[in-house]
Structure 1
């Protein structure tokens, strides 16, 4: 609808520009008629010809300038600036018409009606208020000529006719402007129906994507940041299960109103889907976006919702993720993805919080040499490609990295080992880029040949990063994360403490996330079932001590992990 409206405005402007050009030509005809009928003003014929040529050149020049200017206006100009420019243009036309009326006889002029051109075009372009304003100015000028240009003692027989003409000016502007106003309101109502979410009153998913692309373009042009907030209601499924979808809809309506009431004029709030909202913040850096997000989060937390005491935390809350263009994302798609990743992190760590987007590879870039930065960026792209190929393990690397952070704190690892574990966790499946999508997503058991292809991904992974000196320390983690404690794993059949310690940790975390995520070859297990599986294979596939420590991590954070995936 927005594009249709822009196209309509452009067509109106083009039409009005043609009308204004025509009025200028009529004005020129009147002016030349006056010039050639007034020999006293021009003198002899030679002067007439010289002045005619000079005036002609000037008129053509002015007409050319106006044509170029009028038809070059585009939608990149702000609405307020555009309206000011058009209003100034209209005042210039009024001045030209006023001069022509003066030269063509002042109060005796037969051409006072020429003001109708600018009154109608101004009303069509700018609406009722501006149309009436132009009509009043034009009427005042005509009546002023009637009053001040008449010689003392002379009766002005044109005054009564001019009063009627001024009335025509006003009556032309008023109904025409009222029609433009009604049509504008009708278009706005249609846009609301098309662009608004009927339940929450914020914009819908389709409008969000259109607006985001537009705002990204403006942000890039103005060299200003654009931030995004993703909002997700915590434990909303639990709330719907308790009270039904009607009460759930009331919660969505309330949060939609909170967003509408607490955002700035240029901000755009939309329902992204289900219980998730998205907010676009133009000209906003990350720090300011975090302040806005925390403000909204606190308002939601403090708002009383029906039955919220039966929520897991005794109150209905929302988690939020923040990202910013161009610092954290290169386009609209990556901005959405990064804000969603930040939201995932907020829900992972206790919910009812705001998290800004941080990439593990971005953190890694601080520790690597400048010559390797481009390679690490390429690795990040490869991980995105892997996630796209294997839809069942989307976000797997991020989750394993987050678990690894918790586990590193639990085991009180050194800062160096913590980084090695987290970096290794994030990149442990990078070798899957060489595995066909059909194999990664196969629901039936793999053939021996397919299994051998899949088993090569640890070696393929270290081949891809071996040239980055700063990543040398994580190659053993990537290479050996599929070794088993009893020596039956791959690729080297290492046993017990022969397996690097950090690889043993990652093996437990990787297996747990695989069990508690949707995979093509198994149904997702609950966290309790995942714990049972870890204990079942403790000492066989996994290091017993690491298993027990990791179970403690899961149990300590279990209330915050439920319904996360």
Structure 2
């Protein structure tokens, strides 16, 4: 019975039939208290009408009047037994006698089992023991199922905020997109991020930072509809799935989410200048894949975070249309930001800054010589300046270690690309270099990191920068070795063609060098 049952309701149904048989009764009733769901009631050989009436009467007596049932009790004649509180209902079923036992867990009543007989029956000690044994079994099963449910919930919930996890969210989002594609509907996504959260964490401490994340989760959740799904996507980022919602509807919800956040965090907003930036993208209007939709929602959120117009909610195509606030930003301010970031690295590691400058210059000339377009050349130049900015987070003893790195140190170095992205991801105008920075340490043969991409899975810009970066490193002095002569460096590149590097790019590069 237990092994075949798929849920508690099936187990209770089977139990009600089995307990009737074991005690030679005519019918039975099982009533179970459930925390977040309606109480579960199952009857065997009872009419549906009387099952409902029995359940209502039990709830009235046990819960509303707080009548206690502490142990198994029985009656051989319910008409003469004044302790039985539902004789009129049972008489309609022809019941004359009954035996009733409480189901308990940790001393708390969680249900009752009652077996009825249409005969005048004196219930013996053996039948009392059977009832006690069955109630203990049901209690144990319920506790096990509750524990299994808790484990399942834990696997799809964020441990800090209690929101759904990223893995669950992506699964749920794909399900909704599948439904939406059949019904020709629309699904929207909100990508939310707390402005200046890192500063808040640094000033107030991580405990207060965690409290802020929990408060933010509660604030966003309270602003949503019942059918919406909220998850903590990572760090201070939250994502919302809005079924059957077009961009304009999503924008109204997002504005409400932002206003409620500002109201809930009023004291912190004034002290720490906190805000909630929200980007919106919708299926199928903005893309046909969940990955691309989230990227566009994220980029819209980044625009909202850095926009000078004071607006904190942007839809994907909306901010793209408004981006001309900004020839000034892209042509004047952004280059200054890039230059300032590159110089910041120089304060910690002079080699990295100078190396990046040489790589940017040579990689840009190389890209132009092989006919890449202006957009690719701009990406290559910018990414070359910033791909190693993550070294600001890397300990100096690792950067300047004169001996080979151990495994632990190497793992820290391998996080450099992600650290660089963490630093630049919120700078408007640098969104298009993020994929390139992530791929620079990938290799042609697929043995690189972080994702093991190979061949033309790696962008041309990343493959080109990796090649020029390696050459510049080979002809420079490093703490762990002296620089190589030009001929030695070229030999190294030739040896790694088809392994680390794109063989065609190596050939073109060497043609320039020679």
Normalized against structure 1, the TM-score is what? 0.42
Judging by fraction of residues, say which structure has more strand. Answer: 2
Normalized against structure 2, the TM-score is what? 0.45
Structure with greater Cα Rg: 1
